[in-house]
Amino acid sequence: MTSRTTRTVSLAITPTTRDIPLAVRILVPTALGLALLGLWEILVRVLEVPKFVLPPPSLIGKALGDDFPSLLASLWVTLRITIEAFVIALAGGLLLAILSARSRLFELCLFPYAVILQVTPVVAIAPLILIWVGIDHLERALLILATIVAFFPILSNTTLGLKSVNPELNALFKLYGASSWQRLALLDLPNALPYLLAGMKISGGLALIGAVVAEFVAGSGSGTGLAWRVVESANNLDIPRMFAALALLSALGLSIFFLLVGLQHLLLRRWHESAMSRES
Amino acid sequence: MALYPESGGALGGVAVRPIGAVKPLIRIGGVTKTYSTGMLAVAKTNLDIGRGEFISLLGPSGCGKSTLLRLVAGLAEPSSGTIEWPTSDYDATGRPMPKLGFVFQEPTLMPWATVFDNIYLPLRLSRIRRNAATDRIRAALASVGLERFADAYPRQLSGGMKMRVSIARALVTEPAILLMDEPFAALDEITRFRLNDDLLKLFQAYELTVIFVTHSVFESVYLSNRVLVMSARPGRVIADLPIAAPYPRGDDFRTSQPYSEMCRVASAELHRAMGDANEEH
Ligand SMILES: Nc1ncnc2c1ncn2[C@@H]1O[C@H](COP(=O)(O)OP(=O)(O)OP(=O)(O)O)[C@@H](O)[C@H]1O
Ligand SMILES: [Mg+2]
C-alpha cells in the first residue's frame, strides 16, 4: 500500500505536458506575464528610473494608445511586406524544389547559388538592392530582401521532403503505371508536406526579420514600416513609443508563428508522428 | 458487389483442357540479373509457372528472392534472358495484360491516407473515379475482414492489420497473379498462422496464381503446391519440390505426416543451399 502511494505522488510531481489541461497551459504563462509587468511597473516607480531609460508598462501602453493610428499604419506596411515576401518565397521555393527534385542537373545548377544567397548576410546585400531598386521603389526593395531571407528554408526543406519518398511506395506507383503528375500529386507532395510546413514555420519568422532589417538599413526618413518607427522614436528619445513599436513587432511575430503552428497541426494531426503525442 | 464477379465459384471456374497443351502463365527463360555493383543476384534461371499455382521461393538471406520477384513484376529489368507471358496479351507499353498485385515485406501504406484511400490507390492511378470504385474497395476490405476500419489512418492499426490492408490493396484490381515478398515476416506466429489461412482462402476463392517469398520452411510447405529452394552467390533455384496435398488445407494438414516429411525435405534442401553459399566464401 505505502509503496503505491509513494508512486502516485512521485508521478504527480513530474507530469508531462499533455496531462495539463489547455486552459491551465494558457492561464499560467499569461498570469506570469502580467505579474512580471506589474513587477516592472513597481520597480521602475520605486527606483525612479528615468523614462528615457526604461519606461513603465503603463507609459508604453499610453504611447501605444496616443500614437495608435500612425503605429497601426506602420504595422500594416510591415505586415504587408512580410506576407508578400512569405507568399513569394513559398511559391518560388516550392516550384524550384519540384524542379530540382525532377532534374538532377537543375538541382546541381541551382543549389550553389541558393546557398550563396542564404549564407551572405542580408544586411550586407541590402545596400546594393536598395541602390538598384530602392531609390524609386523602396517597398519593392524591402520585399526583395525579405523574400531572399525567407526563401531558402522552403526550398531546402521541400526538396528534402520530395526526395525522401519510401522506395517501396515508389515501386508501387511504378507497378500501377502512375504518370509523373500522379506521382507528384499523390506521392511526392504529400510526403513533402511535413517538411514544407517545418520550412514555412522558419520562413514566416525570417520574412518578418528580413522586412525589419531591410528597413533599418534603408535608413533615415524613407521608411514607413514599424522598424522605422523604432529608429525614429530612438532618435527622438521617445522611448515609450519605441517600446510600443517593439511590442507590436513581437505581437506580429508571435501571430505569424502561432498561425503556422496551427496550420501545421491542422494538416498533420491525423497522420504525422510530430502531432501524435498530443492526441494519444 | 464481390471482387472478381466473373469467377464462377468452385465448379464454374474449372477449365477443361488437355494437360499437355496448357501453356505456362509465366515463362522465365535464362534470366540473369547483375546489379551495377557487379553483384550477380540471379544467375541464369529457367522456370515455368502455371496458372493457379502457389509457388514459394525459399532461401537464405541475400540469395536473390526479392530480385526474382521484382523481375517478374517488371520493377527491375533482367540483364539477360526473357520473362514471357505466353497466354497473355500485351498492352500498348509492352507490359503483360494480366494484372499483378504486389505485397511488399513492409505494409508500404501511405501514412497520410486513410485505409480506404490506400486501397483506392491502384484504381485511382488507372483513373477510375471514386464513386465507381467504392463497391470494389468495400469488397476488398471485407475480404480481409477490415470493413470497420475504412476511415482509420495506418498509424491507428496494428502490424497485422496494416499487412491486411496491403493485401486488400493488392486484391482490389482483381489481379490474376499475386506476388508477395515475405509479407508476414515481421508478424508474430499466431497472426502469421491466421493470415496464412486467410491467404489460402483468397487463393482458392479468386483462383489466384501466387508467388510467395519466405524464409520459413513451415510456411512455404503449408501454403504452396511447389517450393522452390534458392541458394546464394550466384542466386539460383537448386530444388523444385512439389507439395501434393490438396486444398483447402488447415490444421489437419499442419499436423499430418506428409507435412512434417515435406518440411524435413525442404529443410535439408535449404541447408544444402546455405552450404553451397558457405563453400564459395
Ligand atoms: N538495388 C541493388 N543494388 C545492388 N545490389 C543489390 C540491390 N538489391 C539487391 N542487391 C544484392 O543482390 C543480392 C540479392 O538481393 P535480394 O534482395 O534479391 O535478396 P533476398 O533473397 O530477397 O534477401 P532477403 O531474404 O534478405 O530479403 C544481395 O546480395 C544484395 O546485396
Ligand atoms: Mg528480400
Do B95 and B114 sit in the same domain of this protein?
no
pLDDT tens figures, B186-204: 788 888 888 899 899 889 9
Region A185-194: what's the mean pLDDT? 95
CA–CA distance, B200 with B192 (Å, rounded to integer): 12
pTM, rounded to two decimals:
0.83
B238 close to ligand 1 (CB < 6 Angstrom): no
Region A40-65: what's the mean pLDDT? 90
CA-nearest of A157, A164, A162 to A185 is A162
Asked if residue A59 is part of any domain, the answer here is no
Q: Which residues of chain B are within 8 Å of residue A273 when distances are taken between CB atoms?
A: 155
Asked if residue B279 is part of any domain, the answer here is no
Residue B248 has pLDDT above 80, yes or no: yes
Q: What is the CA radius of gyration of chain B?
A: 19
Interface of A with B (CB under 8 A): 166, 168-169, 171-178, 182, 186-187, 190-191, 193, 270-273, 276
B154 close to ligand 1 (CB < 6 Angstrom): no
Asked if residue B248 is part of any domain, the answer here is yes
Do B54 and B90 sit in the same domain of this protein?
yes
CA-nearest of B261, B260, B227, B232 to B243 is B227
Asked if residue A117 is part of any domain, the answer here is yes
Minimum Cα–Cα distance from A179: chain B residue: B125
Q: Is A128 helix (H, G, I), strand (E, B) or coil?
A: helix
User: What is the residue range of A31's domain?
Assistant: 17-49
Residue B18 has pLDDT above 50, yes or no: no
Minimum Cα–Cα distance from B99: chain A residue: A176
In total, how many domains does chain B have?
2
Do B72 and B182 sit in the same domain of this protein?
yes
DSSP state at residue A120? S
Minimum Cα–Cα distance from A165: chain B residue: B110
Window B:227-266, CB contacts with A under 8 Å? none
Q: At which residue does the C-alpha cell 521461393 appear?
A: B57
Of B174, B192, B221, which residue sits at a domain end?
Answer: B174
Asked if residue B16 is part of any domain, the answer here is yes
User: What is the residue range of B198's domain?
Assistant: 1-99+177-272
Closest residue to A271, CB basis, from B75, B155, B173: B155
Asked if residue A23 is part of any domain, the answer here is yes
Q: Report the pLDDT value the prediction gives residue B12, as an integer from 0 to 100.
A: 33
CA distance A203 to chain B (A): 24
pLDDT band at residue B11, thresholds of 50, 70 and 90?
very low
CA–CA distance, B158 with B138 (Å, rounded to integer): 20
Please, which residues bridge with residue B33 across strands? B42
The ipTM, to two decimals, is 0.84
CA-nearest of A84, A19, A90 to A263 is A90
User: Residue A107: what residue type?
Assistant: E
Counting one residue from chain A and one from chain B, the pairs whose CB atoms sit within 8 A come to: 54
Do A238 and A108 sit in the same domain of this protein?
yes
CB contact under 8 A, B93 and A177: yes
Q: Report the pLDDT value the prediction gives residue B154, as an integer from 0 to 100.
A: 94
Do B48 and B94 sit in the same domain of this protein?
yes
Do A116 and A155 sit in the same domain of this protein?
yes
The set of cell numbers assigned to B218 is 513451415
- SS3 string, A94-108, reads HHHHHHHHHCHHHHH
Please, which residues bridge with residue B178 across strands? B101, B210
pLDDT tens figures, B214-232: 989 999 999 999 999 998 7
Compute CA B192 distance to the chain's CA centroid, rounded to the nearest angstrom: 15
CB contact under 8 A, A172 and B108: yes
The set of cell numbers assigned to B42 is 540471379
- SS3 string, chain B, reads CCCCCCCCHHHHCCCCCCHHHCCCCEEEEEEEEECCCCCEEEEEEEEEECCCCEEEEECCCCCCHHHHHHHHHCCCCCCEEEEECCCCCECCCCCECCCEEEECCCCCCCCCCCHHHHHHHHHHHCCCCHHHHHHHHHHHHHHCCCHHHCCCCHHHCCHHHHHHHHHHHHHCCCCCEEEEECCCCCCCHHHHHHHHHHHHHHHHHCCCEEEEEECCHHHHHHHCCEEEEEECCCCEEEEEEECCCCCCCCHHHHCCHHHHHHHHHHHHHHHHHHHHHHHCC
